[in-house]
Structure 1
């Protein structure tokens, strides 16, 4: 225990002795949380819509004014011809263009009118959301001009479980806890062994009475403590400042966070043990962190990935922790489901730390 305490204190000093290092460990992740929260919005706002009105009737004008009055629409661009429409879409002046035929008012008077909608497929996700907005506006306009036209299918009641108002913050903030925890944890552990080699103190570790597991434990404790502190801050900011509900168990959150950080520490130590310099370690961590983030399910659902890529993502600790965090925040996930995702994290941590210990021992011989 004396040797373990000594190496742990030594690693804490290596991480925290520089005031700039202390700032880098805590301030940038918090700033990233605020910036990414608003930058990675899933809402589609301030978009431009083009209208090619061949009708000029009352209904067409009312429809155009309803679109212009939408809080999500920035500008309504009048189009004079098919060529102007194609030019507006090609140059991304508008994300959608509506075509109203000359008999638009007549069709509406007979009981229903159709409007053509052309979307910019280069922005597929945003275009689909815009199509939903415009469809809702069209249904409201039709119900206003022709009271006999229902504004929604009869008998349909839509409820969104776990996120009733579809607030993107309720999805983004829990996911950022996972992503920022991964980047910080990998960055701290990825430099530890490589720093020893670059500073010339690796040989001192080789001749010290410390055993391999004691060295690795000492190098694992500081990044886990930093990650737990940042995780606590992220949790408090998400709930108290942004109003994201936390419906699960605090104890299970910190237990899963600890195991998640342990798995990340194993990956970082393996990369660091395989590197000769801190520059190599930095490049290695960058190489690892990109697939960790992309395969976590943050950018796109894991279920949408090919089957072989879903199998690879099983080795990504961020994927399993993402399920846990979103479940604890939004839907009070049962203990059995949380444990089913903690077990893979334990396996990943065991494998990565064992590989790091094997490589570290091989480098010491």
Structure 2
């Protein structure tokens, strides 16, 4: 291959490599609070101004409700490390190829090119394949996280129908380079689905930073009772659209538009509990009332409170971290200390997606997407 696919502006790559930015606004596109909802995943649609617009040193941070960390006693949970959870795609998604700071993906009927700083190698497929695409994301994302979509063949609408794990939803071209779903999470969603289907009672699932609700819909379709929390009104609106498309209007899902930390602290005071908690926080974001969230400052308290609202028959607590500043061992040891005395095991490592070629059935290289740590009862 003589030529590389055209790279987006370097300024566009500078900050987009960190999915942590994906939640700086509302909707996994962007805003988070003291623990604002997941909508602000550094790439979510916009809830609040993109994280890039917020300079921590210049922000007056509203004082969030807080409490002291609980001193845990007892044995540490067993550990399984490193664990690599691999997806080769599912339903209407697969990763075709990657390289030169880009990734080529299939989302339903569309072939899409997006920036991917983890793709340090050269593309495996010819330039002609990379040029034959429906949408390319580019633009200056250095400060405000905003960018542009270019449609080489024909102008496309904002949304299109997709399906993952037998749940229908809308893909969406957002100005934060994301498309309304984070497919590397398929491995966690499949695990939740399996737990819900094999348990002889309706399990209660709390989805923090829930973005456009695909995880919540997968859990509900499997029979779980779901509480979905996100600080972005826009993200909640998108999630409700997806609920209608998935024909799950009668499913037991509570849609909560609120700062995630405030919500779980209130749940702790009320004594409400959950069997599975999914936490997918942004690296930095703002909540609906200007709350400022910093992952590394507030993660210990968030996990501490999450442990307190796990039920006596809890099945698992799942944390995903898109900030590559940390190693998986950092969140692994934090999770083990948080779950000290609870038994079970903590497994931590990376979520990866394997390239699948043009037809989706030719396994090739692996692309690392994020870190994770998961406490499980068994």
- TM class by smaller structure: under 0.3
Greater strand content? 2
Q: Greater CA radius of gyration, 1 or 2?
A: 1
**TM-score between both structures, scaled by the size of structure 2:** 0.22
Kindly indicate whether structure 1 or structure 2 has the higher relative contact order, using CA contacts under 8 Å at least 6 residues apart: 2
